[in-house]
Chains A and B, each alone.
Chain A
Amino acid sequence: DQQVKQNSPSLSVQEGRISILNCDYTNSMFDYFLWYKKYPAEGPTFLISISSIKDKNEDGRFTVFLNKSAKHLSLHIVPSQPGDSAVYFCAASSFGGAQKLVFGQGTRLTINP
């Protein structure tokens, strides 16, 4: 059972426009959510996170939105740049549970010039 789902395997966006990556989760015990970015032949790197007590967290061009009632979060990148082309993983964990971070399948974002 896939507890964290990224239903879009790929996304193509024009440079300068907004990129929106989506993530859904099924486990209501999750209370901390993260986005990781991965370039080819490299390991994932942490991008931004949000706890369940917030509905928005912003860091420069990156904003994560959390809708707890819908069990949905999204990552907005504005404006999108060519260097943003990568695979983005959504991940979730529970402070009250075991030390496990559950990842989604990933979305490959391509920024076109």
Chain B
Amino acid sequence: NAGVTQTPKFQVLKTGQSMTLQCAQDMNHNSMYWYRQDPGMGLRLIYYSASEGTTDKGEVPNGYNVSRLNKREFSLRLESAAPSQTSVYFCASSRQGFFSGGKLFFGSGTQLSVL
């Protein structure tokens, strides 16, 4: 049972380059999320998808776009990477939004460095 799978695990970009972080879950969850973790800042919500076909901005959406490709997959795209986007990115899923008791299941993260 893989749970939430993120790819890649590590990535180094140059300023201005673009890339897409992939996320897939096999738990038949309806809701999916992208968070970033920065030292001293905790986890901050970038975008979320309450259900297939919907996406909404979180706390720090600027510089990012998302696509809910199907029920399983939720990708995060950086169109023009900036050093401020150096962070650890986590994808998560939950059965039915935060109202399912807030139990999010997280992937193992993507360490992104933008030079």
Contact = CB atoms under 8 A, between A and B. Distances in A.
Contacts of A83: none
A41 B109 contact: yes
B43 to A, nearest CB: 4
B106 A44 contact: yes
Interface size class, chain B: 20 to 34
Interface in B69-102: 90, 92, 97-99, 101-102
A4 B42 CA distance: 10
B34 interface: no
A27 interface: no
A64 interface: no
Contact of B108 (A6, A32, A43, A89): A43
B107 A43 contact: yes
Interface stretch (A11-19, A65-73, A99-107): A99-107
Contact of A46 (B35, B59, B99, B103): B103
A100 B98 contact: yes
Interface in B5-57: 31, 35, 40-45, 48, 50, 56
Contacts of A101: 45, 98, 102, 104
B107 A103 contact: no
5 contacts: A43-B106, A44-B106, A93-B98, A99-B48, A99-B99
